[in-house]
Amino acid sequence: MSKPIVAIVGRPNVGKSTLFNRLAGERISIVEDKPGVTRDRIYCEVEWLNRKFTLIDTGGIEPESEDIILQQMRRQAEIAIETADVIVFMVDGKEGLTPADYEVANLLRKTKNR
């Protein structure tokens, strides 16, 4: 049996890479206070609570952006979503839900991974 794949997704700068690094047990993803630092999918083999799985860190999803880099980041996140067995949708608890969070949630509702 293969290990499940878990993707962490959400809009930029909500803490996806911080969570990824915490679960990985080391600093693999770069963590900065500016959006767009993580652009590609980053993979790591993880064991948490005696469960082994492949974890994917993704760049932020900006649902309606015309910027080519943000569009490519979104595509990378969509690939992770398509391959994942489990999706962790991350939002910023301090900032609260934003219109972009609702748009990302609607995108996730349309996936096979509900």
Domain range summary for the chain, segments of one domain joined by +: 5-109
Residue 79 predicted with pLDDT over 80: yes
Domain 5-109, CATH among 3.40.50.300, 3.50.50.60, 3.20.20.70, 3.40.50.2300: 3.40.50.300
Residue 37 predicted with pLDDT over 70: no
pLDDT tens track for 40-64: 789 999 999 999 999 999 988 887 7
Distance of CA 101 to the CA centre of its chain: 13
Residues 6+ apart with CB under 8 A from 88: 6, 7, 8, 9, 19
pLDDT band at 38 (very low <50, low <70, confident <90, very high): low
Give me the pLDDT at residue 56, please.
95
Give me the pLDDT at residue 104, please.
92
